[in-house]
Amino acid sequence: MSRSLHTGFFFDEHDLVAAARECRERGIPVVDVVSPFPIHGLDEVLGIRPSRMAWVTFVGGAVGLGLGFWLQYWTSAFDWPLNVGGKPLDSLPAFVPVAFELTILIAGLATAAALLLRSRLWPAKRVPAGLEVTTDDRHALILAQEDASFRDADFEELWRRHGAVDARRETEVES
Amino acid sequence: MAEVLAETPLITGDLTPADVTRDVCTPLEGKPTGLWYAGFLLALSALLLGGLAVGYQIAKGIGTWGLNRTVGWGFDITNFVFWVGIGHAGTLISAVLLLFRQKWRTSINRSAEAMTIFAVICAGLYPVIHMGRPWLAYWVFPYSNERGPLWVNFRSALLWDVFAIGTYFTISLVFWYVGLIPDLATVRDRARGLRKRILGFLSFGWRGTARTWSRYETTCVLLAALATPLVVSVHSVVSSDFATSVIPGWHTTVFPPYFVIGAVFSGFAMVLTLMLIARKTMRFENYITLKHIHAICKVLVFTGSIVALAYLTELFIAWYSGSQYEQFVFLNRMAGPFAWAYWIMVSCNVIAPQLLWFRRVRNNLALIFVLSLVVNVGMWFERFTIIVTSLHRDFLPSSWSGYVPTLIEMGSLVFGFGLFFTLFLLFCRFVPMIAMFEVKPILARRERPVAQPTREVA
Q: Percentage of chain A with pLDDT > 70?
A: 96
pLDDT above 70: residue A3 = yes
For A149, counting Cβ atoms within 10 Å of its Cβ (0-12 exposed, 13-18 middle, 19+ buried), the class is: exposed
Q: Which residues in chain A are closer than 8 Å to B16, comparing Cβ atoms?
A: 137
Nearest residue to A167 via CA among A155, A149, A154: A155
Which residues from A are below 8 Å from B157, CB to CB? Answer: 97
Q: Is residue B454 part of a domain?
A: no
- Structural domain span for residue B420: 30-442
| Residue B331 domain-assigned (yes or no) | yes
Residues of chain A within CATH 3.30.70.1710 domain(s) are 2-36+136-173
Q: Do B155 and A163 touch (CB under 8 A)?
A: no
The three-state DSSP-derived secondary structure of chain B is CHHHHHHCCCCCCCCCHHHHHHHHHHHHHCCCCHHHHHHHHHHHHHHHHHHHHHHHHHHHCHHHCCCCCCCCCCHHHHHHHHHHHHHHHHHHHHHHHHHCCCHHHHHCHHHHHHHHHHHHHHHHHHHHHHCCCHHHHHHHCCCCCCCCCCCCCCCCHHHHHHHHHHHHHHHHHHHHHHHHHHHHHHHHHHCCHHHHHHHHHHCCCCCCEHHHHHHHHHHHHHHHHHHHHHHHHHHHHHHHHHHCCCCCCCCCCCHHHHHHHHHHHHHHHHHHHHHHHHHHHCCCCCCCCHHHHHHHHHHHHHHHHHHHHHHHHHHHHHHHHCCHHHHHHHHHHHHCCCHHHHHHHHHHHHHHHHHHHCHHHHHCHHHHHHHHHHHHHHHHHHHHHHHHHHHHCCCCHHHCCCCCCCHHHHHHHHHHHHHHHHHHHHHHHHCCCCCHHHHHHHCCCCCCCCCCCCEEEC
Task: With respect to residue B275, please indicate whether it lies within any of the assigned structural domains.
Answer: yes
Max Cα-Cα span within chain B: 91
Closest Cβ–Cβ partner in B208, B212, B226 for A135:
B208
Q: For the purposes of burial, counting CB atoms within 10 Å of the CB of B121, is it exposed (0-12), middle (13-18) or buried (19 or more)?
A: middle
Q: Do B175 and A121 touch (CB under 8 A)?
A: no
pLDDT by residue (tens digit) across A47-101?
888 888 999 999 999 999 999 999 999 998 888 888 888 888 888 899 999 999 9
Contacts of B448 in chain A (CB under 8 A): 11-12, 163, 165
pLDDT at B33: 83
Q: Residue A175: pLDDT band by 50, 70, 90 thresholds?
A: very low
Of residues B237, B450, B150, the one with CA closest to residue A94: B237
Where residue B199 sits, what CATH number does that domain have?
A: 1.20.1630.10
8 Å CB contact between B200 and A127: yes
Please check whether residue B7 lies inside any domain of the structure.
no
For A15-40, what is each residue's pLDDT tens digit?
A: 888 888 888 888 888 888 899 988 88
A112 vs B155, B178, B452: nearest CB: B178
- With respect to residue B24, please indicate whether it lies within any of the assigned structural domains: no
Q: Which of B158, B154, B236 is nearest to A94 (CA)?
A: B154
Q: How far is Cα B200 from Cα B252, in angstroms, rounded to an integer?
A: 52
The pTM (predicted TM-score) of the whole model is 0.91
| Chain B contact set for A93 (CB, 8 A) | none
Q: For residue B15, give the chain A residue with the closest CA.
A: A137
How many domains does chain B fold into?
1
Q: In this structure, which long-range contacts are made by residues B132-135, counting pairs with CB atoms below 8 Å and at least 24 apart in sequence?
A: B132/B58, B132/B61, B132/B62, B134/B58
Q: What is the pLDDT of residues B173-189, one digit of tens each?
A: 999 999 999 999 999 98
| Yes or no, beta carbons of B448 and A165 under 8 Å apart | yes
pLDDT more than 90, % of chain A:
26
Query: Using the beta-carbon criterion (under 8 Å), do A80 and B153 form an inter-chain contact?
Result: no
Beta strands in chain A (DSSP E): 2-10, 30-34, 139-145, 166-173
pLDDT digits over B387-444, tens only?
Answer: 999 999 988 889 999 999 999 999 999 999 999 999 999 998 899 988 888 888 888 6
How much is the pLDDT for A31?
A: 86
**Residue B262, in any domain of the structure:** yes
CB A11 within 8 A of CB A164: no
HEC profile of B14-68: CCCHHHHHHHHHHHHHCCCCHHHHHHHHHHHHHHHHHHHHHHHHHHHCHHHCCCC
Q: Does domain A2-36+136-173 have CATH number 3.20.20.70?
A: no
DSSP conformational letter for A49: P
Enumerate the residues of chain B whose CB falls inside 8 A of the CB of residue A42: 210
Query: What pLDDT shows up at residue B447?
Result: 47
Residue B23 lies inside a defined structural domain of this protein:
no
Burial of B4 per CB tally in 10 Å (0-12, 13-18, 19+): exposed
CA distance B384 to B81: 9
- The span from the CA of B153 to the CA of B132, in Å, is 20
Whether pLDDT at A2 is above 80 = no
Is residue B14 assigned to a domain?
A: no
Which residues of chain B have a pLDDT value below 70?
1-8, 444-458
Point out the residue among B230, B447, B458 whose CB comes nearest to the CB of A104: B230
